[in-house]
Amino acid sequence: MRIIKLVMVMLLVAVGTATMAQSKKGTLVTAKISTPTVQCEQCKDRIEKYMLQEEGIASTKVDVKKHITTVKFFTDRTNIENVKTAIANAGYDADNVTANPETYAKLPTCCKKPEDGGGHPDKKH
């Protein structure tokens, strides 16, 4: 029994060490992405929470006033196009990538483009 426990502990240590070694291989890159359809704090929260689920994303900060999303990601796990696609999948335009129409349709009215009845600049959301 002790041998089995010892082998399992050694296996767990080996896997943990390999995982840590892999995370050190990738370079952490910061990208600023234009997100012109961000309208309010709900948009900010929605993007930041969505990006937490994405592989390789270290952090995401949305500037609602400047319509810029700053994303830090590991280059060995993802790339800039995947980051933009993830933002688009959350329902928002990201540089040259247009928002996913199905996700955009599900956004609250305040998070939609002004031409779609949302984003009233004189109201705080």
Task: Tell me the mean pLDDT per 10 residues along the chain, length 125.
Answer: 54 50 74 96 96 96 97 97 97 96 95 83 50
3-class SS at 28? strand
The answer to whether residue 10 is domain-embedded is: no
Q: What is the pLDDT of residue 17?
A: 47
57, 76 Cβ separation under 8 angstroms? no
Residue type, 55: E
Write out the residue range of the structural domain in which residue 62 sits. Answer: 27-116
Full-model pTM:
0.75
The answer to whether residue 6 is domain-embedded is: no
Domains held by the chain: number: 1
The answer to whether residue 17 is domain-embedded is: no
Q: What is the pLDDT of residue 26?
A: 84
Beta-bridged to residue 33, according to DSSP, are: 69
Q: What is the pLDDT of residue 1?
A: 57
